[in-house]
Amino acid sequence: MFNLILFGPPGSGKGTQSERLISKYGLKHLSTGDLLRNEIASSSPLGMAAKSFMDKGQLVPDEVVIEMINSALDNNPQANGFLFDGFPRTTAQAEALDKLLGQKNTEIAIVLALEVTQEELVRRLLNRGITSGRSDDVNEDVIKARIQEYDRKTAAVADHYKKFGKVEYVKGEGNVDDIFELLCREIDKKHAA
The residues, ordered by sequence, that sit 6+ positions from 14 with a Cβ below 8 Å of its Cβ are 6, 7, 8, 31, 85, 86, 114
Residue closer to ligand ADP, measured from CB, 127 or 185: 127
Among the listed residues 72, 112, 114, 64, the one whose alpha carbon sits nearest the alpha carbon of residue 90: 64
How many Cβ atoms are within 10 Å of 123's Cβ, its own excluded? Answer: 13
Beta strand 167-171 with 28-31 is unpaired
- Tell me, residue by residue from 127 to 146, as one string, x for binding to ligand ADP by CB under 6 A and - for no binding: ---------x---------x
- Tell me, residue by residue from 47 to 76, as one string, x for binding to ligand ADP by CB under 6 A and - for no binding: ------xx--xxxx----x-----------
Residue closer to ligand ADP, measured from CB, 3 or 32: 32
Q: Closest approach of Cβ 143 to ligand ADP, in Å?
A: 8
**Residues 170, 114 contacting (CB under 8 angstroms):** yes
Among 81-89, 100-108, 113-121, 170-178, the segment contacting ligand ADP (CB under 6 A)? 81-89
Ranges within 2-21 binding ligand ADP (CB under 6 A): 10-11
- Rounded (to 5) percent helix, strand, coil in the chain: 60, 15, 25
Residues 83 and 125: their CA atoms lie apart, in Å, by 22
Q: What are the residue numbers of the active site?
A: 14, 89, 128, 134, 146
Q: Under the rule (CB under 6 A), what is the footprint of ligand ADP?
A: 10-11, 32-33, 36, 53-54, 57-60, 65, 86-87, 89, 93, 136, 146
